[in-house]
Amino acid sequence: MNILITGVAGFIGMAIAKKVLERGDSVIGIDNLNSFYDTKLKKSRLLELDKKGNKNNKWNFIKGDLKDHDLLNEIFKNYTPNIVIHLGAQAGVRYSIENPKAYINSNLIGFANILECCRKNEIKNFIYASSSSVYGGNTKVPFSEYDQANHQVSLYAATKKSNEILAHSYSHLYNIPSTGLRFFTVYGPWGRPDMAPMIFTKSIFSKQKIKIFNNGEMFRDFTYIDDVVEIIFRLIKRPARKNKDFDKNNPDPATSWAPFRIFNIGNNNPISLMKFIKALEKEIGIEAKKEFLEMQPGDVKSTHSNNQLIREWTDYEPTTKLEDGIKKFISWYCSFYKNDY
């Protein structure tokens, strides 16, 4: 297989690229290495991929932006991928309030450019990152793909929902097998510094106050990176198919008459932020300093993934216990940031 991965210097992008290379397939990676968070971490992830891929010349990295349609056309022409895993996007709920243009450029224009390249090159399997944030104002839990998700509460979430809609239209018009993945708070080694696990850990080590929003009444379905990678790898081998029983009078939001699927990728086990912090404190051996604050605009109180569909489709669902995931995460963190403390 010849697999193109966008956002390859990102957390999930690097992890899936590493597994694909270990299995002997070719990876073409694209990333613009923007400064949304520490570029040192992104470059270190690429170095890890260099170790895996350069031994057999199956790893090619191109620094480029998804807005650059001409560059994307050239990459597809030169490397002829047959599978695309699109993980490149501007991430972050709160940052979307500060800098909406970045989300329009990357998550909408960039996504449309990738879809056009998939259309022109008859891609056999298109897998892309959506987000659990698309459930927005939904209060029925666990979140199910069968539920309507039409009331997003952040621009970031709105762009991810837009991605799903755009992908469906291309699946319908051009028969592109498209699979959208609604990720639920992914954590683990090589994680994102802007997400709670990394922010909390850094604050604990540096003895700075942890900002805990909604006065601690927050729950997240923390999902370990290795489980996420295993699911994506299985989806590579099982592209979306048409739902032959699709009823247009009673439409199923998770499938279509077109080759289109939506899946939750979560742990089906929401954990309170306070419990998560306590697990970090126990593993690190330092008690956190805490500052309790009101809910932030764009945030939701709780996320909880229903895993029925992904379990049925891949015969797998996340299994890593929180304590085990945190142990591996803190071990990596101490090794990578050993000179910072």
Structure tokens that stand for 95 in this block:
């940052």
Q: What is the pLDDT of residues 63-116, one digit of tens each?
A: 999 999 999 999 999 999 999 999 999 988 888 888 999 999 999 999 999 999
Identify the residue whose tokens are 């992830």: 45
Identify the residue whose tokens are 């489980």: 227
Q: Is residue 91 part of a domain?
A: yes
- The model's pTM is 0.95
Identify whether the C-beta of residue 287 lies closer than 8 Å to the C-beta of residue 281: yes
Is the torsion defined by CA of 77, 80, 86, 90 positive or negative?
negative
Q: What is the pLDDT of residues 175-218, one digit of tens each?
A: 999 999 999 999 999 999 999 999 999 999 999 999 998 888 89
Query: CA dihedral defined by 81, 114, 305, 253, rounded to 10 degrees?
Result: -110
> Mean per-residue pLDDT for 1-15?
96
Range of the domain at 90: 2-188+223-268+304-319
Q: Is residue 204 part of a domain?
A: no
Q: For residue 54, what pLDDT is reported?
A: 65
Check if 156 is active-site: yes
Q: Is residue 24 part of a domain?
A: yes
Q: Which one of the listed residues 103, 135, 156, 224 is annotated catalytic?
A: 156
pLDDT at 295 over 60: yes
CA of 4: how far to CAs of 111, 226, 255, 291, 321, in Å? Answer: 14, 20, 24, 43, 31
Q: What is the pLDDT of residues 106-128, one digit of tens each?
A: 999 999 999 999 999 999 999 99
Rg (CA), the chain: 19
DSSP 285-304: T-PPEEEE-PPPTT--SB--
Identify whether the C-beta of residue 209 lies closer than 8 Å to the C-beta of residue 289: yes
Angle between helices 225-236 and 11-22 (to 10 degrees): 60
Instruction: Please give the share of the chain, as a percent, with pLDDT higher than 90.
Output: 86
Q: What is the pLDDT of residues 310-328, one digit of tens each?
A: 999 999 999 999 999 999 9
Structure tokens that stand for 327 in this block:
């142990």
Burial (CB < 10 A; 0-12, 13-18, 19+), residue 314, is middle
How many domains is the chain partitioned into structurally?
A: 1
Q: Is residue 338 part of a domain?
A: no
SS3 63: strand
Q: What is the pLDDT of residues 19-36, one digit of tens each?
A: 999 999 999 999 999 988
pLDDT at 339 over 70: no
Q: Is residue 97 part of a domain?
A: yes
**CB-based contacts of 292: which residues, under 8 Å, 6+ apart?**
212, 215, 216
Q: Rounded distance, CA 318 to CA 338, Å? A: 30
Q: Is residue 218 part of a domain?
A: no
DSSP 185-240: -EESTT--TTSHHHHHHHHHHHTPEEEEGGGG--EE--EEHHHHHHHHHHHHTS--
| Chain length of the chain | 341
Supply angle C-alpha 42, 43, 45, rounded to 5.
Answer: 65
Give the domain CATH number at 101: 3.40.50.720
**Buried/exposed code over 227-240 (b: 16+ C-beta within 10 A; e: otherwise):** bbbbbbbebbeebb
Burial (CB < 10 A; 0-12, 13-18, 19+), residue 87, is buried
Q: Is residue 206 part of a domain?
A: no
Q: Is residue 48 part of a domain?
A: yes
